[in-house]
Every structure is written in C-alpha cells, then in structure tokens.
C-alpha cells in the first residue's frame, strides 16, 4: 500500500517488552508492528535494563551485556542485554543507560546504514539518545510523548531544560491526548500549537468480540474487569473501596483484577479486610490473548488511575464492545463518550456510582456503537496513516541544523 514510501524508520523507546517483563511498553511493540504491517521499513533499537538484585550466576551466563538481534512479531529488534550497575532512577544510572544506548544505535548504523528517521517514544532518556545521534549523524527524529512523569513528579530545572532542548531539535513533537498536551505545555512553558495530538491505536482485528476465544477458566457471569501494572498511580485501592460499595447492593457481581506489581500483596490484604475474598479475583500476569478472553467474558471495564496520558486498555475494552468506567485522569477524557461509558471524579464514591450506573444501564449500551467508535478513531488503519504523513513531512523538512 505504501511501496512508494521507501523511508527507513528506527524506533527508540524508553521502555519496551522484555522476557521478564512482557507487558513493559507492550503498546510500543504493538504499534510498531502495526506500522510495519502498513509497509514502512521499521526496526527497534532498545537498551534493556534489569535489577542487580535478581542477578545469579546462571542468569549472568545468559545475560552478560551482549547485543542480541531478533525478528520479534515481524519487527527487527536490536537489544543490549544489561544489568543495572546503577539504577536508572538515579541521574548516573540514567546517564549510563543513555551512553550504552548511543553505542547500540551506532552499532546498528554501522551494520545497516543510516535510517531516514528516528521515532522516539518518551523524551526522557531515549530523547537524549536521539538528540546526540541527530547532532553526530544528521538524522532527524520525531517524538511521541507518553510519560506520566510530567504530572506525577516535580520536574527539575535541569530536566526541564534538557526536555525542551530535545523537543526543539525534533522535527515534530506529538502527544497522545489533548489533556496531556495542555499539561505538558503548561509544565514546560511551550506553545500548544507547536505540539500535535495523535492518539494511541490498537489492532481492532485482534480485539474483536466476534472472534472465538478460549474462556475456559472464566465461569462467573457478571464480571467487572480491570488489568494494569499494580502500582500506586493505578489506584486499585480506590477501585476496591468502590467495589465494596457496589457489592452491598450488587451481590452477584465479581471484580477481576489482571496483572501484578509491587502493590499486589497490599491489595490482597485490603480484599481480606473488606471481606470480599469470594467477590474479587486476582489473575496474575496475563498475555494479550488472556486479556482479550477476560474482556470478552466481562460486562464492564474499569480504570481507576490518578493519571493516564492516554489509556490504551480502555480502547482495547471498547473494541471488544465493553462499556467503560474511568476516572477523569487525563487521556480518558479524549476517549470516552456518553455512548461508550462514564467518566467519574477521582474518588471511591464517584467511581462506585459510575459502576452502579453502568450496571443499571448495561442493556442500554450498544456494543456495535462502542466498537465502531474505536474503529473510527483509534484503529491502526486510521492512525497509522497520520504517522506515515508525519514521517514523510519530517524527512522532507529536515534542513540540516543540528544543535547539542
């Protein structure tokens, strides 16, 4: 379809799925695969990180700072398999990651030649790599910003200066929702008209309720489903408090919580304290096939986060025809309409009321309308075309002014 576009694009993500953390940046992987399917010559270069606390002699024999190239889901991926000598949460650790990433990119260029464009996901870390490569090799880059760091953390003056410099050297800066653009520009004192909005997108052929999927482990009928990495931002404690309220009147409903994380044990303790052991199910980590199966078996999807720059899991659920309930946490404001679900305030009572409303009005929702909203606005066929146009424009407009 796009054979006339012979550009080569290298994706530089700040995070990407790894064997020990397959859901880490999984939507970067999925979106790169979908871009590749549209005929773009795309590859990924990613510098892995893993904690020294998990290091064993057996693991070190397999993972010893070596490079690894593999075709993953149809996409060429070059990795460096690292151990974090210094955690990347510290400035020194971040600098080491950037330096190693630059070396990895240079090894890619040495073997494959210079790509026409780098597509950076998240300015912090990966953006610094692209800016350096841009200066040294005169290769333009664009950035899609996703990071909730800008709302969840206080950005230092040094970080602000670096991010603004990365953005100014980019051919295009993209964010994934209008609320996030407003926040980002406010934090960094940027003009909103300098930042484009292009939403995240999914494979609506995969998330299709008409497909036959295996649901053998799912026996209950009235399921409320959520899935995420269990960290403090996702506020699953708020969801449990809301579900406690819901279960007082909706006694035959079950809450299914997919995923895991450092909050999981605390959440299980809360379930015990609320006496909800027979009404809340923790599934552990789920593959995308298992996520789809749970979505097909469920009636409502809930997202309870404090901050979401977008909310990919919402459009996955909606593509499966599910009405959704979400806190007004940023990105979901661009996704949910009155035909597709409910936006609520970020507190347990409002969340409970939203869930109760969705239960009481479940049969007024039209699954086809919900799914069509995703196809029309967030499907690969719709959004990838915009990225192809951006790639073409970025390469054509590269004027060769490179600053560090």
What does the pLDDT read at residue 3?
42
Nearest of 273, 206, 220 to residue 250 by alpha carbon: 220
Q: Within the chain, which residue ranges are assigned CATH 3.40.50.2000? A: 8-201+380-396, 223-378
Whole-angstrom distance, CA of residue 341 vs CA of residue 332: 10
> What pLDDT, in 10s, does the model give residues 132-141?
999 999 999 9
Nearest of 287, 291, 280, 300 to residue 237 by alpha carbon: 280
Nearest of 198, 209, 97 to residue 143 by alpha carbon: 198
**pLDDT at residue 401 tops 60:** no
Nearest of 136, 130, 200 to residue 394 by alpha carbon: 130
CATH architecture of 223-378: 3-Layer(aba) Sandwich (3.40)
> What pLDDT, in 10s, does the model give residues 189-241?
999 999 999 999 999 999 999 988 766 566 778 999 999 999 999 999 999 99
**In sequence order, what DSSP letters do the residues of 67-83 get, joined into one string?**
EEEEEETTEEEEEE---
- From residue 396, how far is each of 6, 140, 184, 263 by CA, in Å? 13, 10, 27, 47
What is the model's pTM?
0.91
> What pLDDT, in 10s, does the model give residues 59-70?
899 999 999 999
**pLDDT at residue 52 tops 60:** yes
The residue written with tokens 């406010």 in the block is: 186
What does the pLDDT read at residue 249?
97
Which residues are bridge partners to 196 per DSSP?
174
Written out in words, the top-level CATH class of the domain with range 8-201+380-396 is alpha beta
402: its two tokens: 């490179």
The H or E element that residue 325 is part of is strand 324-327
What does the pLDDT read at residue 248?
97
> By the 8 A CB rule, do 376 and 382 touch?
yes
Nearest of 169, 173, 178 to residue 194 by alpha carbon: 173
In angstroms, how far is CA 196 from the centroid of its own chain? Answer: 18
Q: What percent of the chain has pLDDT over 70?
A: 95
Average pLDDT over residues 66-77: 96
**pLDDT at residue 119 tops 80:** yes
**pLDDT at residue 160 tops 80:** yes
67: its two tokens: 């490079």
> By the 8 A CB rule, do 117 and 137 touch?
no
Arithmetic mean of pLDDT over the chain: 92
**pLDDT at residue 5 tops 70:** no
Average pLDDT over residues 160-176: 95
Of the given ranges (17-21, 110-114, 361-365), which has the lowest mean pLDDT?
Answer: 17-21
Nearest of 64, 10, 88, 66 to residue 42 by alpha carbon: 10
**In sequence order, what DSSP letters do the residues of 36-71 get, joined into one string?**
HHTT-EEEEEEE---BGGG--HHHHHH-SS-EEEEE
**pLDDT at residue 277 tops 70:** yes
Whole-angstrom distance, CA of residue 276 vs CA of residue 281: 9
Whole-angstrom distance, CA of residue 216 vs CA of residue 393: 48
What does the pLDDT read at residue 2?
40
Long-range residue pairs from 190-197, CB within 8 A, at least 24 positions apart, any chain: 190/164, 196/172, 196/390
Q: What is the dihedral of CA 153, 378, 287, 121, to 10 degrees?
A: -40
Q: Comparing 317 with 62, which gets the higher pLDDT?
A: 317
What does the pLDDT read at residue 217?
64
Those residues whose C-beta lies under 8 Å from the C-beta of residue 389, and which sit 6 or more positions away, are none
What does the pLDDT read at residue 4?
37
Q: Where are the alpha helices (DSSP H) in 275-396?
A: 288-297, 312-319, 348-360, 367-378, 380-396
- From residue 352, how far is each of 216, 229, 278, 306 by CA, in Å? 29, 21, 19, 15
**pLDDT at residue 155 tops 90:** no
Average pLDDT over residues 14-37: 89
Average pLDDT over residues 146-173: 89
Q: Are strands 75-80 and 67-72 parallel, antiparallel or unpaired?
A: antiparallel
What does the pLDDT read at residue 1?
37
Angle at 17 (CA atoms; ends 183, 82), nearest 5 degrees: 105
Residue 90: count other Cβ atoms within 10 Å of its Cβ: 11
Average pLDDT over residues 379-403: 85
> By the 8 A CB rule, do 114 and 139 touch?
yes
């Amino acid at each position: 379809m796009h054979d006339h576009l012979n550009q080569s694009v290298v994706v530089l993500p700040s995070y990407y799925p790894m064997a020990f953390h397959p859901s880490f940046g999984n939507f970067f992987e999925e979106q790169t695969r979908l871009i590749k399917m549209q005929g773009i010559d795309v590859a990924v270069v990613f510098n892995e990180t893993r904690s020294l606390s998990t290091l064993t002699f057996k693991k070190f024999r397999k993972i010893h700072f070596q490079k690894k190239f593999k075709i993953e889901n149809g996409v060429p991926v070059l990795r460096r398999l690292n151990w974090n000598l210094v955690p990347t949460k510290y400035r020194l650790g971040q600098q080491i990651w950037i330096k190693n990433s630059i070396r990895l990119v240079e090894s890619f260029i040495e073997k494959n030649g210079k790509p026409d464009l780098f597509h950076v996901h998240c300015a912090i870390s990966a953006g610094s790599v692209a800016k350096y490569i841009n200066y040294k090799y005169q290769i333009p880059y664009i950035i899609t910003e996703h990071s909730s760091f800008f709302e969840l953390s206080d950005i230092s003056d040094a970080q602000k200066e670096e991010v603004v410099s990365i953005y100014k050297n980019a051919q295009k800066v993209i964010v994934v929702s209008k609320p996030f653009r407003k926040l980002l520009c406010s934090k960094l004192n940027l003009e909103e008209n300098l930042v484009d909005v292009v939403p995240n997108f999914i494979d609506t052929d995969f998330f299709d309720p008409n497909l036959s999927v295996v649901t053998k482990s799912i026996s209950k009928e009235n399921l409320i489903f959520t899935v995420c990495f269990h960290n403090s931002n996702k506020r699953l404690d708020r969801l449990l408090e809301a579900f406690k309220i819901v279960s007082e009147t909706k006694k035959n409903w079950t809450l299914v919580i997919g995923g895991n994380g450092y909050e999981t044990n605390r959440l299980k303790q809360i379930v015990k304290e609320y006496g909800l052991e027979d009404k809340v199910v923790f599934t552990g980590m789920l593959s995308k096939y298992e996520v789809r199966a749970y979505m097909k078996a469920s009636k409502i999807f809930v997202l309870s986060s404090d901050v979401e720059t977008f909310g990919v899991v919402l459009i996955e659920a909606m593509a499966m025809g599910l009405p959704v309930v979400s806190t007004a946490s940023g990105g979901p404001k661009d996704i949910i309409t009155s035909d597709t679900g409910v936006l609520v305030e970020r507190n347990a009572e409002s969340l409970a009321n939203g869930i109760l409303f969705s239960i009481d009005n479940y049969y007024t929702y039209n699954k086809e309308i919900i799914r069509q909203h995703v196809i029309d606005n967030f499907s690969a066929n719709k959004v990838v075309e915009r990225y192809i146009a951006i790639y073409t424009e970025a390469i054509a407009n590269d004027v060769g002014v490179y600053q560090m």
